[in-house]
């Protein structure tokens, strides 16, 4: 036993938090976002950087929690990042993986409520892990949509020009059929519509590597998201991590945001 790193037996709360922390790893899809919030979250993380070089001073100090930065080409939105990570670490996943955008906080609480802090995000992740939650979308809302991703705001004038697929529908049904090789349902329930989620390893491993290779190929075939394939994956994460080869849980009986 390394006595230098031992903790007092009376510090049960801290010990329990440290044990749970070791089970959760952050995977962050970054472009230009400021990642200084990672220092406050204080969990092991892998940052996949698709933008300018990151100032090391903004990242958590090593070696605990460990932070690794991996450069990737700027293609395929966060879906490309997440799928690349899953394939690279398929045989060595932590108990929980938190898949996060470079700035997830705008999606974590309704606009009229106080925003979630980095410490609040940390606590939410650790609480979900302690409960044994298999899959959790972290956004404050869920979406119900049809096979074209409707309703959506991809024609919002404020977003014009941000990506090549602006103004188009989202090919949710088409992407579903190519990915699952099964007929698409008429409606979909998306619990991780913003691409921010916590997933237990068993849910990831319920699907074979070939499934994720097929998914990555779909995203890579639309590198600039000109057809909104990356947006389609935002509607399909719940189906992907449903825990079995079935696609139960993707169908809804209503449309609209709930």
The per-residue pLDDT for range 91-115, each reduced to its tens digit, is 999 999 999 999 999 999 999 999 9
Cα–Cα distance for residue pair 87/212, rounded to 1 Å: 7
- Do 118 and 100 form a contact (C-beta atoms < 8 A)? no
Residue 62: pLDDT band (50, 70, 90) is: low
- Entry field: residues in the chain: 258
pTM, two decimal places: 0.87
Cα–Cα distance for residue pair 182/73, rounded to 1 Å: 31
pLDDT surpassing 70 at residue 158: yes
Dihedral Cα 199, 202, 206, 211, nearest 10 deg? 50
Burial per residue of 14-40, b for 16 or more beta-carbon CB atoms within 10 angstroms, e otherwise? eeebeebbebbbbbbbbbebebebbee
Cα–Cα distance for residue pair 46/70, rounded to 1 Å: 7
Beta strand pairing call for 143-146 and 256-257: antiparallel
Cα–Cα distance for residue pair 258/256, rounded to 1 Å: 7
Mean pLDDT of the chain: 87
């Amino acid at each position: 036993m390394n006595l230098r790193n031992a903790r007092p037996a009376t510090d049960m709360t801290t010990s329990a938090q440290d044990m749970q922390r070791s089970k959760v790893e952050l995977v962050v899809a970054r472009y230009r976002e400021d990642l200084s919030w990672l220092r406050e979250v204080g969990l092991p993380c892998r940052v996949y950087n698709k933008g300018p070089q990151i100032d090391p001073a903004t990242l958590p100090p090593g070696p605990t929690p460990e932070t690794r930065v991996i450069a990737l080409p700027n293609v395929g939105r966060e879906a490309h990042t997440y799928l690349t990570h899953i394939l690279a670490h398929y045989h060595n996943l932590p108990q929980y993986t938190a898949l996060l955008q470079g700035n997830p906080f705008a999606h974590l609480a309704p606009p009229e409520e106080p925003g979630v802090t980095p410490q609040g995000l940390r606590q939410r992740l650790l609480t979900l892990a302690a409960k044994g939650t298999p899959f959790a979308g972290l956004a404050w809302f869920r979406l119900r949509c049809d096979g074209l991703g409707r309703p959506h705001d991809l024609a919002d004038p404020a977003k014009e020009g941000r990506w090549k697929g602006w103004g188009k529908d989202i090919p949710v049904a088409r992407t579903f059929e190519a990915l699952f090789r099964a007929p698409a349902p008429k409606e979909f329930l998306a619990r991780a519509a913003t691409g921010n989620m916590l997933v237990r390893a068993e849910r990831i491993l319920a699907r074979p590597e070939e499934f994720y290779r097929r998914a990555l190929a779909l995203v890579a075939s639309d590198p600039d998201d000109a057809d909104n394939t990356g947006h389609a994956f935002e509607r399909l994460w719940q189906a992907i991590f449903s825990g079995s080869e079935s696609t139960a849980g993707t169908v809804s009986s209503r449309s609209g945001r709930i």
